[in-house]
């Protein structure tokens, strides 16, 4: 392996990280199969192309990230992270199997999807911060930025496969089987967690249980102008920009009149950009705040190009740009916040990050869905573009560009 590629994949030298990534990749493919199938089920089978219903499902699925914030950060900082991951992954697998059974038997209704979206989101709310901070136990701080980027590479490589596979599954044997396949895929990550070498883990410092530990996380962030700027940027893009199920489904069906295969292909094409963004991030020695601002601006540009796309393939090309920019933003914020945060505070800070990035979806997704229904999907993408441009100028507006305060 040549030196440049050895640098990009350096975290894979560790046994535990290799095992974790292998199991996670299989599960990630299943996750993207289900996400695509769920959006298609709601948009085309349980409603008559109602973007607001898709937005409500997203709101219910991501709302728990903010609603359960006091407990998710506490759990990540105080409990055994490996055992907590086993519990959350198993719960999400069971929920996927249950929704699949309802769909295959033909009894699924829209309110069923709403309930399962909320339950799945509740399990994911506990899973996300501990899964992000668990990376430090696998590789240590010296390779943390690289491991975060490789995690995103795995997640988005699965995104290249999952949506297209989901489209083929829906067309061939039905939507419900996509959910059942996702449920079975969680077995892979559970096996990987069972096979980790416990003695080689590098446990993060555990926080002491005390009153006010949750508010302590807020106070910690409030004293850090760099962290506040990152969270404001994440709120803008996460709330109004990362609504890809709405953007892609409404453009694919309403503008380009694509079928399930065409819809799934668009999501997979977008993953080309996200994988490229993740690999570029993995090759960098350390994250920089200036790159975060550039990524936000390029995200706005990509959404603008997608909004004015004259045809299917132009739109697909714009999605690649959006994918690169979105991963640049999310990976850079993840690494900046973890590397500049005290180990005992990481769980609460990362829970706050996830809560802000995804917890804004209950606000943004219904708004973007309403815009798509009343003004068209191109205007909905315009909302996403505005969020990127606004995020890019947040650090300037908040005057937090002093370099020594922004670099880990």
For residues 266 and 263, give the distance between their C-alpha atoms in angstroms, rounded to a whole number: 5
pLDDT tens digits for range 357-368: 776 778 888 899
| CA of residue 239 relative to chain centroid, distance | 13
Q: Taking the model in full, what pTM does it have?
A: 0.73
pLDDT at position 407: 45
Closest CA to 287 of 355, 225, 218, 230: 230
Q: Which of 144-148, 319-323, 333-337 has the highest mean pLDDT?
A: 319-323
Buried b vs exposed e over 321-359: b needs ≥16 C-beta within 10 Å? bbbbbbbbbbbbbbbbbbbbbebebbbbbbbbbbbbbbb
Q: Which domains does the chain have, with CATH numbers?
A: 3-406 (1.20.1250.20)
408: confidence class by pLDDT, cuts 50, 70, 90:
very low
Q: How does pLDDT run across 74-89, given as a tens digit for each residue?
A: 787 778 888 999 999 9
**Using one digit for the tens of pLDDT, what is the confidence trace for 192-226?**
999 998 888 877 655 555 555 667 777 888 888 88
Q: Is the pLDDT of residue 315 over 60?
A: yes
**Interval 379-397: pLDDT, tens:** 999 999 999 999 999 887 7
Angle between helices 289-307 and 225-240 (to 10 degrees): 10
Q: What is the DSSP letter of 22?
A: H
pLDDT at position 131 over 60: yes
Q: Which pLDDT does position 385 carry in this prediction?
A: 97
Cβ atoms within 10 Å, residue 81: 24
| Of 352, 346, 368, nearest in space to 125 by CA | 352
């Amino acid at each position: 392996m040549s030196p440049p590629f050895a640098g990009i994949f350096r975290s894979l030298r560790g046994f535990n990280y290799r095992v974790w990534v292998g199991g996670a990749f299989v599960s990630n493919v299943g996750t993207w199969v289900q996400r695509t199938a769920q959006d298609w089920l709601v948009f085309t089978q349980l409603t008559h192309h109602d973007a607001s219903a898709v937005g409500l499902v997203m709101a219910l699925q991501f709302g728990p990230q903010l609603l359960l914030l006091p407990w998710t950060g506490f759990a990540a900082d105080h409990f055994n992270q490996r055992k907590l991951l086993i519990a959350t992954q198993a719960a999400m697998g069971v929920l996927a199997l249950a929704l699949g059974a309802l769909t295959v038997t033909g009894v699924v209704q829209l309110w069923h999807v709403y309930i399962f979206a909320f339950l799945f989101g509740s399990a994911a709310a506990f899973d996300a911060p501990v899964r992000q901070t668990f990376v430090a136990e696998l590789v240590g701080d010296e390779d943390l930025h690289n491991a975060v980027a490789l995690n995103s590479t795995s997640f988005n490589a699965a995104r290249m496969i999952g949506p297209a596979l989901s489209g083929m599954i829906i067309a061939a044997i039905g939507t419900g089987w996509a959910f059942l396949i996702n449920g079975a895929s969680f077995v892979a990550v559970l096996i990987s967690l069972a096979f980790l070498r416990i003695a080689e883990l590098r446990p993060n410092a555990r926080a002491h249980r005390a009153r006010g530990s949750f508010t302590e996380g807020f106070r910690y962030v409030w004293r850090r102008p760099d962290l506040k700027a990152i969270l404001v940027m994440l709120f803008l893009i996460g709330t109004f920009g990362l609504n890809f199920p709405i953007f892609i489904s409404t453009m694919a069906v309403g503008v380009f009149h694509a079928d399930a295969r065409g819809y799934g292909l668009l999501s997979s094409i977008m993953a080309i950009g996200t994988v490229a963004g993740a690999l570029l991030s993995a090759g960098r020695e350390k994250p920089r705040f200036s790159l975060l601002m550039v990524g936000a601006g390029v995200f706005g540009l990509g959404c603008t190009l997608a909004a004015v796309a004259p045809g299917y393939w132009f739109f697909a090309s714009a999605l690649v740009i959006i994918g690169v920019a979105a991963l640049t933003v999310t990976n850079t914020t993840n690494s900046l916040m973890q590397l500049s945060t005290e180990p005992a505070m990481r769980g609460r800070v990362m829970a706050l990050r996830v809560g802000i990035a995804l917890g804004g979806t209950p606000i943004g997704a219904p708004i973007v869905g309403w815009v798509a229904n009343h003004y068209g999907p191109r205007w909905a993408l315009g909302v996403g573009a505005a969020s990127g441009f606004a995020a890019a100028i947040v650090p300037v507006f908040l005057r937090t560009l002093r370099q020594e305060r922004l670099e880990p």
